[in-house]
Amino acid sequence: MKQQLPPDVLKQCIFLAGPSAVGKTDVTIELHARKPNIEILSLDSMCVYRGMDIGTAKPDADLRAKIPHHLIDLVEPHEDYSVADYIAHARAAAEEVLARGNQPVFVGGTGMYLRCILRGVFEGPPANEEIRNRLEKQADEAEAKGDNYWLMRQLERVDVDAALRLHPNDKRRLIRAIEVYELTGKPLTEQQKQPPLTDEEKPPHVYWLSPPRDWLYDRINRRVELMIEAGLIAEVRQLLALPNRVSHTARQGLGYKEVFDVLGEDAEAALTEEQLASVVDTIQTRTRQFAKRQHTWFRNLEECSEIEMTEVDSPTTIADRIVSRLDA
């Protein structure tokens, strides 16, 4: 079963993607000044979590009061949240915006979300409790003997691509991938592959911002410093102090993972100046690496139109360029 936005809804949406720290929020503000009937739908996999604000560069309350924002603060940090969940929420939000006579604008940098919004996502067959219980029992028996990679090895035999992208401790998704193979005889990753939309199918306004790399890297480095100054360490301490353990997915968020790694499970753990400097450097390095992967992802997503930027292009300039395309 494939879950996606209806074509008529999809074609009425605008999409603005781009790497971290490129200035998507500032461009969005300028777009709203020119087209006040737009509402923003977050295209960010970490903004769905409540209490994860600083490290996600989540729009602040003042901006959200001026411009309606959706798909933010949907779940608690300990809860699981899938791409299929996001598609369902995105469809409902987009339809609500259109029903008000406004236009949905998806803004963010999560390439997987963008591709699945455009092409749909394969949900797979219904859960089979017999298979799940058997796999859980076998995995527990293996763990009791000191083998924590039994599930991963089973998955590698039937779906190498899924095994490469899943964490060995992500038992729920490992079991689901094996379950899908047992029920269908086909790897989950094969069934999840969706071809590009045809010219007749694709929405007309899917854009991604493509900046000069050195300029972007400078912005990333500064953004990380500002996040630390704004209290990122304290925010992670608050997450550690929650009654429920933060989920594996939420812990992988850039900026959060690096702080979790140094604090461990101790919300009161002290950080030396050397540790803090190392955290900052690691976050900067990994964010630059991530931005490079984002660039590759958007460039290779055939539905996307590139908007090249220079060091002197302001958000106003970029917004004007987008509006000219919207009105063409």
Residue 228's CATH number: 3.40.50.300
Instruction: Tell me, yes or no, whether 185 and 245 share the same domain.
Output: no
- The parent domain of residue 174 ranges over 129-192
Looking at residues 176-183, what average pLDDT do you find?
A: 92
**Domain final residue, candidates 192, 213, 242:** 192
Instruction: Tell me, yes or no, whether 287 and 302 share the same domain.
Output: yes
Proportion of the chain above pLDDT 70, given as a percent? 99
Q: What is the pLDDT of residues 20-60, one digit of tens each?
A: 999 999 999 999 999 999 999 999 999 999 999 999 999 99
Asked whether residue 112 carries a pLDDT value surpassing 60, the answer given is yes
Asked whether residue 207 carries a pLDDT value surpassing 80, the answer given is yes
Instruction: Tell me, yes or no, whether 38 and 80 share the same domain.
Output: yes
Instruction: Tell me, yes or no, whether 315 and 232 share the same domain.
Output: yes
Which pair of tokens denotes residue 316?
Answer: 């106003």
**Domain final residue, candidates 192, 210, 233:** 192
Q: How far apart are CA 244 and CA 58, in angstroms?
A: 22
Provide the number of structural domains found in the chain. Answer: 2
Instruction: Tell me, yes or no, whether 34 and 51 share the same domain.
Output: yes
Looking at residues 110-132, what average pLDDT do you find?
A: 88
- Pick 307 or 161 by higher pLDDT: 307
Q: For position 268, what pLDDT does the model report? A: 92
Instruction: Tell me, yes or no, whether 248 and 292 share the same domain.
Output: yes
Instruction: Tell me, yes or no, whether 16 and 108 share the same domain.
Output: yes
Contact 140, 159 (CB under 8 A): no
| 305-308 vs 206-210, strand pairing mode | parallel
Instruction: Tell me, yes or no, whether 201 and 320 share the same domain.
Output: yes
Asked whether residue 1 carries a pLDDT value surpassing 60, the answer given is no
Instruction: Tell me, yes or no, whether 267 and 172 share the same domain.
Output: no
Proportion of the chain above pLDDT 90, given as a percent? 78
Largest CA distance in the chain: 65
